[in-house]
Amino acid sequence: MTDYDLLEKQLRALLKNEHDPLANTANFVGLLYDALPDINWLGVYVLRGEELVLGPFQGKPACVRLPLGQGVCGTAAIRQQSVLVPDVEAFPGHIVCDTASKSEVVVPLLLENRVLGVLDIDSPSLARFGEDDRKGLEKLCAVFVGDLSGKSAGDFI
């Protein structure tokens, strides 16, 4: 099981001395991709108008623009809630970027009640993500956004 408390400490240490949102987002993504087992893609999409636009990520090149309200990412963004998908083929409107992906979790990046974007993680295994992951990832996203907002007044990437 992933040690989310340790990851939180590592994330805080990584963000502490740097104020650039792009650099901090890149390191946030790198930290998580390296630490989480059994994943094939992890990245951030940034909300720009009515679309989520691809930001820093690790994995194969991915879809660049995702419409708000569609797919797993667009659904998490519009609901302002995390979405756990145990089987992507069973999720209506799932947007395929890599056919290797079998399950997915998307966590919105929320600054107060505003969606800045989402964190999206794909796994080649079915039902890879559970409640422990959702809780741990939501905490990490809150730390990440809190740090961003303190340093760049929500001016995300």
Q: Does 82 bind ligand SME (CB under 6 A)?
A: no
3-state helix, strand, coil in the chain (%, to 5): 40, 25, 35
118's enclosing H/E stretch is strand 114-123
* Stretch touching ligand SME by CB under 6 A, among 3-11, 19-27, 31-39, 96-104: 96-104
Single out the residue of 95, 111, 142, 143 in contact with ligand SME (rule: CB under 6 A): 95
Site string for ligand SME, 120-149 (x = CB under 6 A): x-x---------------------------
**Single-letter code of the amino acid located at 64:** V
**Closest CB to ligand SME among residues 15, 45:** 45
Hey, which residues between 22 and 61 contact ligand SME (CB under 6 A)?
Answer: 41
Burial of 52 (0-12, 13-18, 19+ CB in 10 A): buried
CB 109 within 8 A of CB 44: yes
Least distance (Å) between residue 88 CB and ligand SME? 7
> Running DSSP on this structure, what letter comes out for residue 96?
P
Single out the residue of 7, 39, 84, 97 in contact with ligand SME (rule: CB under 6 A): 97
**# of chain residues touching ligand SME (CB under 6 A):** 15
Q: How far apart are CA 141 and CA 154, in angstroms?
A: 14
Q: How far apart are CA 69 and CA 72, in angstroms?
A: 8
**Closest CB to ligand SME among residues 4, 45:** 45
**Closest CB to ligand SME among residues 8, 138:** 138
Residue among 3, 2, 1, 13 at smallest CA distance from 143: 13
Residues near ligand SME (CB under 6 A) = 41, 62-63, 66, 71-74, 94-95, 97, 101, 104, 120, 122
